[in-house]
Structure 1
Amino acid sequence: MWAVLAAAGILSGSSQASAQQAQRSATSYAPVDIKESFAATMARMKAAKSDIEKKHASLLAERYDLGDRPAAGVTMSRGKPVQEGVRVKLPSGTTWERLASLSPADIREQNLFPKGFYPLPHPNQGEGGMLFPKFEIDEINKQEARDLTRFDLDFDLPNHLLPEFPAPIYLTTRPDLGDVTQGKLVTIANYYELFNGILNPKQIEGLRLLVTPFPQQQFNQTEDRRSEKASRGVACLDCHANGHTNSATHLVGDIRPQEFRHRIETPTLRGVNIQRLFGSQRALKSVEDFTEFEQRAAYFDGDPVIATKKGVNILERGSQVHAMAEFQELLDFPPAPKLDLFGKLDAAKATEAELRGQAIFFGKGQCSTCHTPPYYTDNLMHNLKVERFYKPVMINGRFASADGPIKTFPLRGIKDSPTYLHDGRLMTLDDTVEFFNLVLETKLTQDEKRDLVQFLRAL
């Protein structure tokens, strides 16, 4: 933010330095020696919960239409309806066409950037932490008697906008089996019976570790937790449910101060075998790095001091991490029957609208510049510089300035993975097309945007 203001002549060099200093937190470290009793902390946070959630719900209502409007005849892999329509609300008196005709500077100066395109804060940005949808909480509690309920906060988005649950699992090694889950959420209670005879012993051990709960910042045995009872912790597949995603949310651990930390929507693990970068911004170079990083750092908001106190799970790289990574690399994308061997549409199977959408994807829409077939990623990072459309602003404790470079996520199976963008700020594929039409300044027509959505659903 401050470099932008300085470049515009708004801040002098000395003022810029002062402003930057003002945006530093007092410390990078979380408090270790808690002075408030757990009972007092819980009572205080329970009392504040209603007002916090009302404020966040008001923000969501101002930004989005969160209604249940499924697209006719379009479902995810196991049959959950896909939601349709642009859900981001426009500023009063404007249209998407008018907005796309303006320059980024005009949109910025006239404050016309749609609020749903701004970074999305955590439901309680000042507190942060892992937050799970109720369907995940209920099933884990049922199978393991392990409660992922937070006493201070509930999940913020309605179920119809989230991925299907439990999601299917497709294996690169056994495509003949299709979904291997038998319609169940894979947990420590059933992983062995589901996968014995399908995986090899090392892969089964990797899966065991992925469904084993370990202490985490909000779920642990200390007084500094957000579960009423002392908790065994969380498992990797509590967020990456069935190796996919349930849209559980968190804050990235590698940014300070707190108001600059990005909300992160859990990405799917499908297709990690073809990816070369891991983490939305961290650019970790292997799934082994990612797995170890999550346990050592992300579980504890990037604070190894707190991790030591709460019981960090130090994985052994040569056996445990390797086994966990090997299982993750077996997770395949869902079938896409309309795609040929090269990841393009088979003209004999696709609709006219899908074929037109494909032409836009590889042409006017410029989507393929980053999302290259057959898996629709270039395995690079790109900075969209969305901040050129708006002035820095505080949004419910989240300082919206600049996102920075974000990795190119694969688009294969994208209809199974709402919500969209790294922080989940876009509810539907229609929203995503509108966002990129504006940010990339491609000026697609309404018909072109509709066709592009049809193509994305076919991937």
Structure 2
Amino acid sequence: MTVAKIRKCLAGLAAATIAFGFAYAQQGPRGKSSYMPVDITEPFSAIFARLSAQKPEVTREHMALLNERYDLSDRPAAGVTMDRTRPVQEGVRVKLPAGQTWEALANMSPEQIRDRNLFPKGFYPLPHPKHQEGGFVFPRFLIDEIKRQEARDLTRFDVEYDIPDHFLPEFPPAMYLNQRTDLGDVSQGKLVTINNYYELFNGIIPPKQLEGLRLLLTAFPQQQFNLTEDRRSELPSRGATCFDCHSNGHTNKATHLAPDARPQESRHRIVTPTLRGVQIQRLFGSQRALKTIEDFTQFEQAGAYFDGDHVIAAKKGMNPLDRLTQVDLMAEFQEELGFPPAPKLDVFGRLDPSKATPAELRGQEIFFGKGRCDACHTAPYYTDNLMHDLKTERFFKPEMINGLNEVGDGAIKTFPLRGIKNSPPYMHDGRLLTLDDTVEFFNLVLGTKLTGEEKHDLVAFLRTL
């Protein structure tokens, strides 16, 4: 081969290498492996000491992000409560970019907002409080009550829950049964656990549902809570239960990461949705589109409990659930969980004019009209049981923030809006702290250009659902 031919080959190889590199960059980041390390050689004492020492800085960094994005003050709405007595927080808590107003932003195109870096930071996807690690993180009030009743500790030594309590659902939440609406709140103001479920539900629900409830309250090994040296609990743990996140069949907004993407920075934060009204839903998992509550129940134990890695589950103690004698029973009880009462709604899910205020009636007109909310949230349960992509990446440039690769959200299921005031914060990752924030978000993303009064009326309507 001549020198000229060698040079030509090398030039071609260089060009191919550059092209491959460009194509790879266009694909986005790729992890070294889809699998978690199974064989941990570092002793637990060293892991505990190292991660415990890092916890204060991890907490400081993440809370700085929240304070940059939000007004976290406790400002309850006058006369508006959840099922019992917890006040509903009011007001837009997402902070605006300097010198901007919501009206000015609403009059810009997505491209203008992106190019001028004006998309409010509180509308960006919200990172996990320790995104590089992920995993279940529980609010302190849930940790304390489970420890009191069961002597089972859900504290993580490496990270703390982040969203302040006054933005979270009432605890313990009320619990309603579809076939026994005459009983009202069947939890009697208590957190239902393995210690008290029998006395609370024996004689109210049939044997299959009673067994299903028992399984939903039984602790199984989970990625951060188990017996291995790479757990994140100080003491060996029996694990976590389905209702550790779905308190009383509702939610306490415990958080973790979606199990269905790699590398770690591409995984999206998830806050626990309510199980109220699952009998009318046809999709489960905010971004995974599982088709039945049985699929969701079985998948959570087999995959999501272990961050989507069935290989490491074998080490940590996965508990395979039998579809007929366990999963179906768990699903049957979940499908008995009802929505909270909505005394102002008629049987079609619309406001009864004799019971609603003028602001609520105006808000209903906006919901089904100018606001275009019903394009996805159709009455009477206010969901279309579909997945939708809001294409939020139109509004901001990709950026790595606290371990999360901020590139948009992808398709998200339409959550039912019945009982929505009882389930803050909102969106799949909890980035919207109040209903006011939610209205501002969709007004901007959908381009509906609501006035200040229309936004206020729409929030008033949402509180009636």
Give the TM-score, by structure 2 length: 0.95
Residue number among 364, 369, 389 corresponding to 2:395 in the alignment: 389
Where does residue 220 of structure 1 map in the other structure? Answer: 226
What is the alpha-carbon distance in structure 2 between the residues aligned to residue 324 and residue 17 of structure 1? 46
Spell out structure 1 runs of 4+ moving beyond 2 A: 12-16
1:29 aligns with 2:40: no
1:368 partner amino acid: D
Taking a change above 3 Å as real, the CA distance of residues 377 and 21 of structure 1, as seen in their structure-2 partners, is closer
CA deviations on 1:343-366 (whole Å, 9 max, x unpaired) are: 000000000000000000000000
Q: Give the Å deviation of 1:16.
A: 3.9
2:286 partner amino acid: S
Where does residue 301 of structure 1 map in the other structure? Answer: 307
1:193 aligns with 2:199: yes
Aligned counterparts, 1:168-207, within 5 A: 168-207=174-213
CA deviations on 1:321-353 (whole Å, 9 max, x unpaired) are: 000000000000000000001000000000000
1:280 aligns with 2:286: yes
1:261 aligns with 2:267: yes
What is the alpha-carbon distance in structure 2 between the residues aligned to residue 34 and residue 20 of structure 1? 34
2:185 partner amino acid: D
Structure 2 residues not aligned, in runs of 5+: 1-17
Taking a change above 3 Å as real, the CA distance of residues 22 and 274 of structure 1, as seen in their structure-2 partners, is closer
Aligned counterparts, 1:415-454, within 5 A: 415-454=421-460
3-state SS in 2 of match to 1:73: strand
1:96 aligns with 2:110: no
Where does residue 406 of structure 2 map in the other structure? Answer: 400
Residue number among 321, 339, 342 corresponding to 1:315 in the alignment: 321
Give the TM-score, by structure 1 length: 0.97
What is the alpha-carbon distance in structure 1 between the residues aligned to residue 33 and residue 147 of structure 2? 36
Aligned counterparts, 1:141-152, within 5 A: 141-152=147-158
CA deviations on 1:400-432 (whole Å, 9 max, x unpaired) are: 102111000000000000000000000000000
Where does residue 46 of structure 1 map in the other structure? Answer: 52
1:410 aligns with 2:416: yes
Where does residue 135 of structure 1 map in the other structure? Answer: 141
Where does residue 210 of structure 1 map in the other structure? Answer: 216
What is the alpha-carbon distance in structure 1 between the residues aligned to residue 19 and residue 357 of structure 2? 58
| Greater CA drift, 19-28 or 110-119 | 19-28
Structure 1 residues not aligned, in runs of 5+: 1-11
1:237 aligns with 2:243: yes
Q: Give the Å deviation of 1:157.
A: 1.2
1:227 partner amino acid: S
Which of 1 and 2 has greater Rg? 2
What is the alpha-carbon distance in structure 1 between the residues aligned to residue 77 and residue 273 of structure 2? 23
What is the alpha-carbon distance in structure 2 between the residues aligned to residue 284 and residue 376 of structure 1? 19
CA deviations on 1:141-160 (whole Å, 9 max, x unpaired) are: 00000000001111111111
Q: Give the Å deviation of 1:22.
A: 6.3
Q: Give the Å deviation of 1:20.
A: 4.8
What is the alpha-carbon distance in structure 2 between the residues aligned to residue 50 and residue 37 of structure 1? 22
1:108 aligns with 2:114: yes
| Greater CA drift, 333-342 or 17-26 | 17-26
3-state SS in 1 of match to 2:103: helix
Q: Give the Å deviation of 1:15.
A: 4.6
3-state SS in 1 of match to 2:88: strand
Where does residue 9 of structure 1 map in the other structure? Answer: none
Q: Percent identity, aligned pairs only?
A: 71
Alignment RMSD: 0.9
**Number of paired residues?**
448
CA deviations on 1:265-321 (whole Å, 9 max, x unpaired) are: 000000000000000111111000000000000000000111000000100001100
CA deviations on 1:226-284 (whole Å, 9 max, x unpaired) are: 00000000000000000000010000111100001000000000000000000011111
What is the alpha-carbon distance in structure 2 between the residues aligned to residue 170 and residue 118 of structure 1? 34
